[in-house]
């Protein structure tokens, strides 16, 4: 088990701890705040609720969490050290002096700093080559972006190790090879923030109106396509050149006060704070966090359906996790073809529940359909085969709903091939939470020629693999409920 040392367990450090912990790392935390354990427990509670439902493959077993009274104890045996202390250079340098003495030589040291350049953190330390900026975004356990900022002091192997570790916990390392104050993303945020302050001060818009302009408008576009690609599309068929020709002259017009900052006095603070209270004060911070997490999970899951943006990143992370989660991609990877095949291993996400507070009936079919898709891939009916014109269509389905399941609960589906002969594929799915049987699904599928949209024999290698599973599992007891229709006696 790999080990992450977290120096500073506040909002950002706690988010890092949750991200590593829920991805199977041992996490060691140092924070002198007497309330550190309680605060981190709150962050972990939200992370455990939200992160497992983000992906479609089960996360590994949670790592071990421990708190330590000294930096030396915390970094012992660490593969990654994440510094998340307050934004004071003197404090950070004091921490790095201790890290220099005690951090294992092979460990990468990342800083969550929002503004300091890596050269400022490396200056004067013998282990400067191991120090990089690894700037995340809140909540760290859900947001994938990490700005990895390096200097010529960092050798390629350190940079590649840093990027690989960040990728391994489902995040995206944006490597900035040239340092600058506040990196890249926060410079965008600062520019928007300055303009927003003027809009509030001048009475043009309230805090709520500004937030609505972002979340109902360009914020959604940016989330899935970024800035330049969005503007390229805005140029129509003529593309970016047309966009620049049309809107380039606006850069000389007085549309913003970007470099002109209003005086940050008590009057402005009171104005913004009052409007923010009126906008969101009916919710507690914890409630707002949960609302935020639900929305983020829903948005990124929606993006994953189109394999786009942050959703594409999550899909890649799911694929990388499949083997560890016990999911086979080919028949050769199936441990014992004579037994039901594990075709689904996941947690019920937040958006799978209904007004009764349990998984909605359509999601049972969704889960079984995903299991059917996995079985199809195992026998070779994958994307390439389908693109070549062959696939299976479902002809009949029967689902028995035997027990409840709720958001956040782990579920597994084990699949049997009852018949795999000629055009027919007869499957039996059983859904479990642990050893508790939740539902069964019986599905009859027919192989189809996608050019004619009519049933047709499958390719020989597809039928051979399907037959191998059917014959291998033929000795298993007949499933209870097989062939049962609605209303028929047990």
CB environment 352-361: b (16+ within 10 A), e (fewer): bbeeeebbee
Q: Who contacts 275 (Cβ-Cβ below 8 Å, separation ≥6)?
A: 200, 206, 207, 208
Q: Determine the Cα–Cα distance for residues 171 and 197; give it in Å rounded to an integer.
A: 31
Q: Who contacts 220 (Cβ-Cβ below 8 Å, separation ≥6)?
A: 299
Residue indicated by tokens 């689904």: 344
Helices 11-22, 36-50: axis angle to 10 degrees equals 50
Q: Determine contact, residues 148/162, Cβ cutoff 8 Å.
A: yes
| 235 annotated ligand binder | no
Q: Determine the Cα–Cα distance for residues 87 and 92; give it in Å rounded to an integer.
A: 8
DSSP 35: T
Which DSSP string corresponds to 5-24? EEE--SHHHHHHHHHHHHTT
Q: Determine the Cα–Cα distance for residues 439 and 368; give it in Å rounded to an integer.
A: 10
380: left (phi over 0), alpha (psi -120 to 50) or beta: left
Q: Determine the Cα–Cα distance for residues 83 and 280; give it in Å rounded to an integer.
A: 32
Q: What is the CA radius of gyration of the chain?
A: 27
| 149 annotated ligand binder | no
Q: Determine the Cα–Cα distance for residues 390 and 379; give it in Å rounded to an integer.
A: 13
| 10 annotated ligand binder | yes
Q: Who contacts 243 (Cβ-Cβ below 8 Å, separation ≥6)?
A: 231, 232, 234, 235
Q: Determine contact, residues 145/122, Cβ cutoff 8 Å.
A: no
Q: Who contacts 396 (Cβ-Cβ below 8 Å, separation ≥6)?
A: 443, 444
Residue indicated by tokens 């028929």: 488
| 8 annotated ligand binder | yes
| 81 annotated ligand binder | no
| 9 annotated ligand binder | yes
Q: Who contacts 160 (Cβ-Cβ below 8 Å, separation ≥6)?
A: none
190: left (phi over 0), alpha (psi -120 to 50) or beta: alpha
Q: Determine the Cα–Cα distance for residues 481 and 490; give it in Å rounded to an integer.
A: 7
Opening angle at CA 276, ends 271 and 280, nearest 5: 160
The annotated binding site is made up of 8-13
The annotated binding site for NAD(+) is made up of 8-13
């Amino acid at each position: 088990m790999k080990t992450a040392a977290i120096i500073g367990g506040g909002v950002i450090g706690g988010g890092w701890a949750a991200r590593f912990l829920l991805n199977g790392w041992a996490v060691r935390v140092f924070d002198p705040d007497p309330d550190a354990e309680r605060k981190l427990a709150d962050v972990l509670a939200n992370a455990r609720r939200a992160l497992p439902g983000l992906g479609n493959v089960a996360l590994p077993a949670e790592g071990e969490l421990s708190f330590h009274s000294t930096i030396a104890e915390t970094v012992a045996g660490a593969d990654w050290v994440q510094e998340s202390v307050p934004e004071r250079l003197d404090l950070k340098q004091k921490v790095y002096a201790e890290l220099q003495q005690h951090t294992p030589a092979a460990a990468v040291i990342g800083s969550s700093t929002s503004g300091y350049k890596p050269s400022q953190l490396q200056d004067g330390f013998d282990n400067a080559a191991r120090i990089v900026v690894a700037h995340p975004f809140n909540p760290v356990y859900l947001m994938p972006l990490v700005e990895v900022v390096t200097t010529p002091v960092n050798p390629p192997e350190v940079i590649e190790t840093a990027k690989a570790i960040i990728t391994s916990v489902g995040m995206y390392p944006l490597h900035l090879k040239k340092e600058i104050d506040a990196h890249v993303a926060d410079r965008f945020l600062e520019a928007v923030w300055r303009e927003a302050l003027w809009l509030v001060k001048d009475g043009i818009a309230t805090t709520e109106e500004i937030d609505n302009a972002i979340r109902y408008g360009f914020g959604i576009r940016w989330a899935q396509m970024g800035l330049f690609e969005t503007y390229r599309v805005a140029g129509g068929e003529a593309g970016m050149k047309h966009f620049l020709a049309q809107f380039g002259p606006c850069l000389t017009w007085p549309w913003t006060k970007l470099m002109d900052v209003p005086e940050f006095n008590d009057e402005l603070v009171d104005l913004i704070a009052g409007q923010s209270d009126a906008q969101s004060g009916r919710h507690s911070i914890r409630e707002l966090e949960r609302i935020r997490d639900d929305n983020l999970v829903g948005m990124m899951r929606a993006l994953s359906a189109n394999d786009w943006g942050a959703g594409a990143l999550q899909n890649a992370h799911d694929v990388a996790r499949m083997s560890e989660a016990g999911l086979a991609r080919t028949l050769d990877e199936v441990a014992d073809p004579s037994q039901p095949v594990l075709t689904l291993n996941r947690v019920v996400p937040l958006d799978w529940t209904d007004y009764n507070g349990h998984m909605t009936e359509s999601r049972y079919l969704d889960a079984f359909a995903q299991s059917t898709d996995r079985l199809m891939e195992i026998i070779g009916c994958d994307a390439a085969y389908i693109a070549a014109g062959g696939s299976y269509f479902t002809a009949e389905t029967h689902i028995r709903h035997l027990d409840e399941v709720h958001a956040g609960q782990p579920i597994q589906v084990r699949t049997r091939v009852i018949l795999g002969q000629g055009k027919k594929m007869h499957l039996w799915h059983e859904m479990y939470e642990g050893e508790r049987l939740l539902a069964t699904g019986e599905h009859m599928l027919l192989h189809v020629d996608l050019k004619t949209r009519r049933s047709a024999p499958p390719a020989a290698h597809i039928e051979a693999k399907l037959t191998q599973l059917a014959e291998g599992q033929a000795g298993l007891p007949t499933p209870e409920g097989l062939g049962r229709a609605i209303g028929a006696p047990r």
